[in-house]
């Protein structure tokens, strides 16, 4: 059992330090903006390390079912290559046949997973925008 924090925890701590302690102390607006960006990107890296592998596996499972393909490799660069090829095939399928309800559900799930990493506070509720009467 390791007593040191894992990489995502260290990245979260660094993001918090940059956002909460360094950025408010910086008086140069350009440098303060860069520190804010660094804090944001560090948070993205932490979420990618924590959530990315599970999201890739889930996406691969959905794509395998949609494209009627054999199961992808368990992880690593082989999974990345499999996902790239499967997504290219899905794009070709959409161009040719359009997006069925299953394809739209997959795309929405993938969008939700991507935003959980890149912009976790993004509101994906379908009722957010209402027509003006």
- Burial of residue 63, with CB atoms counted within 10 A of its CB: 0-12 exposed, 13-18 middle, 19 or more buried: buried
In this prediction the pTM is: 0.81
Residue 71's pLDDT band, with cuts at 50, 70 and 90, is confident
Give the pLDDT confidence of 17-63 residue by residue, as tens digits.
999 999 999 999 999 999 999 999 999 999 999 999 999 999 999 99
CA 4 to chain centre: 26
């Amino acid at each position: 059992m390791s007593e040191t924090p894992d990489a995502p925890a260290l990245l979260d701590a660094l993001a918090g330090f940059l956002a909460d302690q360094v950025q408010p102390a910086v008086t140069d607006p350009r440098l303060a903006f860069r520190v804010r960006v660094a804090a944001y990107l560090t948070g993205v890296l932490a979420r990618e390390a924590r959530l990315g592998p599970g999201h890739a596996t889930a996406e691969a499972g959905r794509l395998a079912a949609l494209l009627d393909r054999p199961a992808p490799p368990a992880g690593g660069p082989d999974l990345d290559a499999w996902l790239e090829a499967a997504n290219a095939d899905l794009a070709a399928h959409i161009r040719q046949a359009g997006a069925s309800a299953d394809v739209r559900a997959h795309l929405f799930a993938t969008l939700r997973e991507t935003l959980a990493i890149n912009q976790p506070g993004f509101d994906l509720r379908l009722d957010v925008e209402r027509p003006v009467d």
